[in-house]
Amino acid sequence: MSSFRYAILGAGRQGACAAWGLAKYGDAESVTLADVDESIAAAAAKRVNGLLNREVVRPGRLDASDPVTTRTLLKGHHAALSCVPYFLNEEVARAAVDARVHFCDLGGNTEVVENELALHPEASKRGLSLIPDCGLAPGLGNTLAALAVEQFDQEISVHVRCGGLPVNPKPPLSYMLVFSIHGLINEYTGEAEYLRGGKIVRVPTISEFEPIEMGPPLGTLQCAVTSGGTSTAPKSFLGRVRDYDYKTIRYPGHWDRVKTLLDLGFLDNAPVTIGPNSVRPRDLTAACLIPRLTFRGDKDLVILRVWADGRKAGVARRVQYDVLDYGDDITGFTAMERTTAFPAALVAHMMAAGETMRGAIPLETAVPARPHVERLKTWGIAIRESQA
């Protein structure tokens, strides 16, 4: 069995979980887990090594905004996974190409992803896979969509719905922080890119509310447009798929309150002047929300539903994929950590093993969908497939 050396940049929630996944299932000889705060990396490495009962994860210190030290740390690894904030991914990807290391990340911002994909000529020349947006959504949602598209040859419409929620919602937002607040605000602002009628369209966030029925105990939840969830898929499927959209799932009442914050400018990016100081409204909002949406010890759940309608050899039908994860009490990894980190870590494994396309290529094109989905099940992510 092959052994691979992995680097994970960012030792927070998803970084620690990805390190465990690669050490457990990724044929890992070693995993370097680096963070700007080395004490966080050390604590995460100790936790993962303790769970595995072997010393495979080693901590490191890394300032991901410094391309020189990033390149130095990455050298000698087979594949790297970025779990740092999305706005650092472009520079980290460049460093990975310079270091001749396969690279993937958790993504979340389509503009940053497009800049990463512009590295295709250099990545291809060096025989590297560079695959952004490999987490949950964008990420696993796009892979399941690609798998669904494979089932049809005409009139294909794909719909992705995803949400990370508290098991026991609390007012006022019926939400708890399950990943970076800055990533969350990024998703709540701007526009989403969809396919409608075979054409790419842009739709404002926090709009087009719709119910989704999940059955007991969750009942009827509510979806709304958020940005980034489709990522590169509309362009990848242009000419083959008629409709492609993504919405985020929340408990009823959440979207009305968030829409108020959005309309009043609390999520704006442009700085405002307050006395002698200049501050971005979204930074102030983030600082206020973090302590009010952090409920230590509370459990989370993740819902992902992807369905597609179309025709195969003239016969109309539907395929649907459902993921409902409540986390793992044995390892302590939450539902959001598992469903975000494991799909990305598996891509890192497939890159190292030579199973992905070379170059800087979108996830839904670069990674073979069926093998990824089937192997992810062996990592403990239950994916239910149904057809009609």
Coil, strand or helix: which one is 385?
strand
pTM of the full structure: 0.94
Tens of pLDDT, residue by residue over 159-206, are 999 999 999 999 999 999 988 888 899 899 999 999 999 999 999 999
Tens of pLDDT, residue by residue over 195-219, are 999 999 999 999 999 999 999 999 9
CA distance 2 to 289: 45
Cβ proximity of 92 and 115 under 8 Å: no
- Over residues 323-329, the mean pLDDT reads 96
Tens of pLDDT, residue by residue over 93-137, are 999 999 999 999 998 788 999 999 999 999 999 999 999 999 999
CA distance 329 to 374: 23
Tens of pLDDT, residue by residue over 252-275, are 999 999 999 999 999 999 999 999
What is the DSSP code (8-state) at residue 78? S
pLDDT at 182: 86
pLDDT at 224: 98
Cβ proximity of 27 and 2 under 8 Å: yes
CA distances from 282 to 100, 161, 230 (A): 37, 25, 23
Tens of pLDDT, residue by residue over 17-44, are 999 999 999 999 999 999 999 999 999 9
